[in-house]
Amino acid sequence: MGLFSKIKEGLKKTRDSVVGQIDSMLKSFTKIDDDQFEELEELLVMGDVGINTAQRICEELKARVKRDGVKDPNQSPGLGGTAQSAARAAETQALVQQLLPGFAGSAVLDADGLNAAARLLAEGGAFPHPAEELIVTPHPGEMARLTGLSAAQINADREGTALRYAQAWNAVVVLKGARTVVAAPDGRVRVNPTGNPGLSRGGSGDVLAGMTAALLACRLPAYEAAACAVYLHGAAADRAAAVHGEYGMLPHDILPELGRMFAEHQR
């Protein structure tokens, strides 16, 4: 089976699992509207099942709601951080706290999921963890919120910081930035040689999170999935920068270059 076929099959399994995990969420909606499905789609992307898969899941759920209706009204969950509202931040925190520990496989936690985890840690809670392996993908600002360190302290010892918290959280830490660091709880650390400043544009991290989740869905161990995703993400970005320039490249320019890389190596 080729790599793309494996990714497709892995994402199907991930999709089926996620549908089961969020089944109870549907019962808490007082109503279902397009805005709430957009929020749910964002949640699924945050959970790193991939944008296309998230869209398919939402279409399936829309069909189910239309067929079966909605029961047991309660508060409607949404996604967001304090930039949206304190209420939405609390909802996101509750979702991360409830869904991640109940997830049967491995998972990637990114963006507002990390901010929610930071609030849990600040309140004295444990880092939420799925049944199998966990990958977290913070940039220095998110890492600062998670650890209480300053961004300057983190960047002064990026490898040491990533490794220390990989062991503390029993998770693979992908500390993004110039020369992204990937650290595992067992002490393995690698500094990625690929990538360029064009990756600082918003949305680039979403591409990385999706690539990482796809490799996890292929059943790669978490450290290998993270290291491969980071390397390929940066290599594709370097090719995109060669075509569009670091200032001109956009996150969606990464994926065509990734496909070309695979094709060149008969994948």
Which pLDDT does position 59 carry in this prediction? 64
The answer to whether 96 and 128 are in contact (CB under 8 A) is yes
Q: For the chain, what is the mean pLDDT?
A: 79
Between CA 43 and CA 48 the distance in angstroms is: 9
CB 181 within 8 A of CB 201: no
Rounded Cα distance between 63 and 50, Å, is: 20
- Kind and range of the H or E element at 135? strand 134-136
Tens-place pLDDT, residues 204-254: 999 999 999 999 999 999 999 999 999 999 999 999 999 999 999 999 999
Listed in sequence order, the residues at least 6 apart from 61 whose beta carbon sits closer than 8 Å to its beta carbon are: 19, 22, 26, 37, 40
Sign of CA dihedral 170, 230, 181, 123: negative
Q: Side chain identity at 144, as an amino acid letter? A: A
Does the pLDDT at position 165 exceed 90? yes
Strands 172-175 and 134-136, how do they pair? parallel
CA distance 217 to 7: 6
Q: Is 198's pLDDT higher than 60?
A: yes
Per residue in 6-34, pLDDT (tens digit) is 555 554 555 455 445 455 444 444 445 55
Residue 108, strand partner residues: 135
* Long-range pairs, 163-170, Cβ under 8 A, ≥24: 163/187, 163/189, 169/127, 169/129, 169/134, 169/136, 170/127, 170/129, 170/134
Handedness of CA 223, 225, 226, 231 (dihedral sign): positive
Query: 249 by DSSP, 3-state: which?
Result: coil
Confidence label for 89 from pLDDT (cuts 50, 70 and 90): confident
